[in-house]
A and B are shown apart, each in its own frame.
Chain A
Amino acid sequence: MYPWKRRAGWWLRNPRFLLFQAREAGGFVSALFGLLLLYMLVRYHEGVASYDAFLAMLSTPVALTVLALLFAFVMVHALTWFLLIGKAQPIRFTKKPLRAGTVFAINIVLWVLVSGAVLFVVFGGL
């Protein structure tokens, strides 16, 4: 028998595998943002000067570019999450499971609504 060995670049052979790795990376990047937000709170509690310096550091062009790249991964994670909910429906509202595309659309709508709620409740509205 000729044995099988998975090759190192296996995820480059298929666009869905590439998206999968981007999604996994997005999960990790979300954790990085969690740590960043925690650090933000630490700086906030240190006082106005410390917090302002923190925000200023993150508004330099270099920082914004890095943040934008990381944010892209967060978006990949969020959008693939909405799609995955449709593919793994343990909750059934109707006799037939809803089509994955329908669930995705519903999730997008919910996401917009929740984002709006966050905007108003946490950040003081528009």
Chain B
Amino acid sequence: MAGEDADWNPGRTAIHANPKTLAKRPAVLFEPMLWGIFSLGGFITAFLLPVTIVVLFFAVPLGLWPAARVDHDAIARGFEDLLVRLFWFVLIGGSLFHGMHRLRHSLVDAGLKKLEPLLNVVLYGVAILGTLGALWYTILFDAPLPFR
């Protein structure tokens, strides 16, 4: 690398980390992106999940709401609105990516470090498949697709 022999050589053209240090610390490829989705999923889960659970699973059995508000027709009416469809998609996908990322870190921390490559495939696989499933069941299920 011309122009940069030793540290503290004035006039050097760039600043690089010590190669010996970098050799010890394996680079990451997907981690920043996964963390970004995890963070986004965290917001989604924290803000949207509690009210959804209460309304869908507790409000009716506890007598706080009439059953008609969450029955099949009510959901169908919701699906007429694209915003509602996006809500379901984002909620499912966000909580899946968030939770799988956390589970992976928890399991690795608990001692399953050797299984990490397998965990990555399985856990993020569940998240991806779940999100794709959500995409189908919220948005694409009645879209005018060629293979219908």
Contacts and interface: CB of A to CB of B under 8 A. Distances in A.
Partners in one complex: yes
Interface size of B as a range = 35 or more
Interface in A100-126: 110-111, 114-115, 118-119, 121-124
B84 A121 contact: yes
Contacts of B91: 34, 37
Q: Is the interface of A mostly helix, strand, loop or mixed?
A: helix
B120 interface: no
Given A34-B99, A44-B72, A123-B55, A81 B92 contact: no
Interface stretch (B1-9, B19-27, B29-37, B39-47): B39-47
Interface of B: 42-43, 45-58, 60-61, 69-72, 74-75, 77-78, 81, 83-84, 87-88, 91-96, 98-103, 105-106, 126-127, 130, 133-134, 137-138, 141
Sorted from nearest, which 3 A-B pairs have the closest CB atoms? A31-B99, A27-B102, A34-B95
Interface of A: 24-25, 27-35, 37-38, 40-42, 44-45, 47-48, 51-52, 55, 58-59, 64, 67-68, 71, 74-75, 77-78, 81-82, 110-111, 114-115, 118-119, 121-124
